[in-house]
Structure 1
Amino acid sequence: MPQDNRALRLTWRLLTAATGLAIALAMLFPLVWMVATSFKPEPEIVSFPPRLLPETFTLDNYIGVWERLPFTRLFLNTVVFAGAVTVCSLLLDSMTAYALARLRFRGKGQSSSWSWCCSWCPSRSRSSRCTTCWPASGGSTPSRASSCRG
């Protein structure tokens, strides 16, 4: 009987691993297709039937992006903006977290509940509709949290 149990566990592990591998490959396939297509010339991209690997390997698509767009400037703008936002967020969020964790003030429980409720809202809706999570009557528990969807 213990031998059957081992065989069943081994079969279950193999089946789980095979299923996980199949799901992982299915999710990675679009990325592989996109990268492979980026190295194909245009006639090969639109040809039928489509092929995964390029017949003629080319870097013209990458060179064209660098020539047509001010890619270095766009990349620099992204790095500067993301860096500034990260630094500001770290500075302001760490001060807020310290105040909420260490200091005693009236409404500490309500502000923590409000913060928790709004952290579950999509960022798109935080500026306009997330106030529906918090009851207008000044209660201490979030209400209508399901209305905080984007």
Structure 2
Amino acid sequence: MLKNNRFITKLLSVQEGSNFVDSKVELPDSTKVYLSDYIGKGHYVLVNIWASWCGACIAELPEIRNAGEKYASKNLKLLSISIDRDRKNWEKALKRLGLPWTQVLADYSFVNSYGINKIPVLMLISPDGIILKRNFSIEDLNRLFQN
């Protein structure tokens, strides 16, 4: 029961309208960075949480790429956060997929902090680091940015 209460508390702290939770992550070259190096820097960030073994995650990557290109002029940047447990699988997927935007690898503390219990997850974060949308679709993003 206590474990469930902690999960619910964490999940509520990263919902729409709350500040993003900073986490240490790794770049493909193993450099350790923080999400705050990319988020809250004056632009919208579409965060894609995925893994190399997730078919649905891989399937939506072309749509994410298109959205990044389409809305770059509207101050949108892309950030993909992999929750792969096997770094080598992530690295192979990056090579195979050729994703041109920022890619980072997160550990279980990120998954725990954000209450991730399924993937893929898309989040839209405001220029000042507020979670605007969580668990939404590219179609929803299109509606937001076309208005």
Q: Same fold (TM over 0.5)?
A: no
TM-score normalised over the length of structure 2: 0.21
Flag the structure with larger Rg. Answer: 1
Give the structure with the larger strand fraction: 2
Compare relative contact order (CA 8 Å, sep 6+) and give the higher one, 1 or 2. 2
Give the structure with the larger helix fraction: 1
TM-score normalised over the length of structure 1: 0.21
